[in-house]
Amino acid sequence: MYTPENQYRCTIIRGKSQTEMEDFLPLYANMVHKFCPCKEDAFRESCYSTLSKAIFQTSSFDLLDEGNKKTVQNHLTEVAGTLLGLYYPTHDEEGNTYINESDSCRYLVENNDFPTFFKNLCLNFQFPNGAKWMQFIRQDIDNQIHIKPFCFIITLLYRAQENKVMLTKQEIGYYVLNNLDVLQGNVKPEVVYERIMQDRKNKVKREKLSGSHDWQHIKEQFNLLVLTNLVETDATYIWLNKYEARTIGIFMEHINDFTFNPYAYDLNQQKQRMRYLEDWKYVYGQFNSELVNIKTTFNIDIADESEQVRQGGATKSSVDIGDDGEALVFRLEQERVRNYRERLVNKVLLLGKTKGLGYDISSIEADENPLKPEFARYIEVKATKRITEPSFDVSWTDSINLTSKEWIAAEQYRDYYNIYRVYFTKKKTIVVRIKNPYQKFVDNQIEVYPTIYQMNFDASVIEKRYAD
């Protein structure tokens, strides 16, 4: 039985705006990647310091006022941990709590594909979950909630697409995300679609959901879904992105696949409640293997035809983000040098596949250094795919990983070493340049931390040998 009027408010953690979410995401992920695994107290102390520096320009968390402390804490626990699932806790027999990096965080650090990260998040998301206060978790369980909302929405939109129909966000909010029958898993997307069409035909007017109480939790879910690149929206409507057919199929296939069973726990017992939350955070942060080889593609050309020919006819839509970024910057450098002096364009070399150099492209100064136009310019390219454009406002921050070779090259070449940061976004591609990052580090304009250490040793340092 499906009764649209049977409304139920199923809340979700309030995140940041879409741009803020993506602006902070690399900071969150690299922070977790850097500090984990470690004990909970040490993790919080380190992260609070990092976030305080990024948000309030001071690493002294303890010196912040109570309001600013709460802001920092919210970034770490509510957003980075609970909503985004970047880390999860484990406990040892002595009662110590350890914080661990999730699989999805590791994927994000290694691949810089924000939309795929959010695809995985939405694919794992379900109600009930462990992202609420226990009293609200109990409430959802008492009401027999059981749904993967994003899989349901994608399937519903697919049905609408088949019939060349556009659904409104209000319709999905009222008929799906705020409806008890649907949230209980008792109604199929086809039934919801038919009821919406029936009500449209009969000119049935439904209550408009609005305000922080009735609409905010629905808006938060739409925000996450938009960040997956699976849907398009305007002020009124929401529809599927035709370029994401493969991933859309995966969401539809997994509409009834629940990897976490909230009904398997006795929440009257303290240990079971702790186990519930711990298990949820672990499952939520797992990365779905089906998404590994699916690269997010926007309807933009990375490389022109001549570049594809130079690369043996390979299409750039099928390669990874790093290659996309290198191809784009290589083309831009060729154009810059060609405009300065045609004969010098052969000095622009794409070297990203050559190991151990510490840079991806060798170019020349050209027009940007009239006194030394043929001096070499060494370029390391760091690329990211995201839905929104970076804000670049006063509170904006970013974080990238450098290898030891890249940092050595930065120190060696100084003024002639550049990092080109490429942001592939939904509507445009943005390239920014950081010249002489080593000097900026010396001048305390940027922060650089070693994350990997290689230890070489010989027999002279061995104090004792053990043999079985």
Give the tens place of pLDDT for each residue, 169-220.
Answer: 999 999 999 999 999 999 999 999 999 999 999 999 999 999 999 999 999 9
Distance CA 30, CA 453 (A): 17
SS3 356: coil
User: Smallest Cα–Cα separation from 23: which of 380, 326, 410, 430?
Assistant: 430
Peptide bond into 370 cis (omega under 30): no
Peptide bond into 189 cis (omega under 30): no
Q: What pLDDT score does 116 carry?
A: 97
Q: What Cα–Cα distance (Å) separates residue 336 from each residue in 207, 260, 333, 365, 433? A: 57, 53, 5, 10, 14
Confidence of residue 295 (pLDDT cuts 50, 70, 90): confident
Q: Is the pLDDT of residue 66 over 60?
A: yes
Residue 443 CB coordination number (10 Å): 9
Q: What pLDDT score does 313 carry?
A: 30
Q: Is the pLDDT of residue 38 over 60?
A: yes
Q: Is the pLDDT of residue 2 over 70?
A: yes
Q: Are 89 and 98 in contact, with CB atoms under 8 Å apart?
A: yes
- The stretch 79-102 carries a mean pLDDT of 95
Q: Are 120 and 288 in contact, with CB atoms under 8 Å apart?
A: yes
Distance CA 438, CA 69 (A): 32
* pLDDT single digits (tens) 41-53: 999 999 999 999 9
Single pTM value for the model: 0.89
Q: What pLDDT score does 92 carry?
A: 87
Of all residues in the chain, the percent with pLDDT exceeding 90 is: 82
Write out the H or E segment, with its range, that includes residue 386.
none
Distance CA 346, CA 387 (A): 35
Domain ranges of the chain: 306-442
* pLDDT single digits (tens) 301-337: 444 333 333 333 333 333 467 788 999 999 999 999 9
* pLDDT single digits (tens) 125-178: 999 999 999 999 999 999 999 999 999 999 999 999 999 999 999 999 999 999
Q: Is the pLDDT of residue 390 over 90?
A: yes
Distance CA 445, CA 437 (A): 9
Q: Strand 376-385 vs strand 417-424: parallel, antiparallel, or unpaired?
A: parallel
SS3 7: strand
Q: What pLDDT score does 300 carry?
A: 55
Strand partners, 237: 168
Tokens describing residue 148: 């993967």
H helices of 264-416, where? 270-284, 305-310, 321-340, 404-413
Tokens describing residue 29: 């992920």
Write out the H or E segment, with its range, that includes residue 121.
helix 114-124
SS3 210: coil
120: left (phi over 0), alpha (psi -120 to 50) or beta: alpha
Q: What Cα–Cα distance (Å) separates residue 65 from each residue in 75, 163, 250, 397? A: 16, 55, 46, 22
* Beta carbons within 8 Å of 457's beta carbon, 6+ residues apart: none
H helices of 36-77, where? 40-56, 66-73
Q: Are 430 and 405 in contact, with CB atoms under 8 Å apart?
A: no
Q: What pLDDT score does 397 carry?
A: 86
* pLDDT single digits (tens) 417-447: 999 999 999 999 999 999 999 999 999 999 8
Write out the H or E segment, with its range, that includes residue 220.
helix 216-226
Q: Are 98 and 91 in contact, with CB atoms under 8 Å apart?
A: yes
Q: What pLDDT score does 459 carry?
A: 63
Q: Are 194 and 202 in contact, with CB atoms under 8 Å apart?
A: no
Confidence of residue 451 (pLDDT cuts 50, 70, 90): low
Q: Report which of residues 344 and 396 the model is more confident about.
A: 344
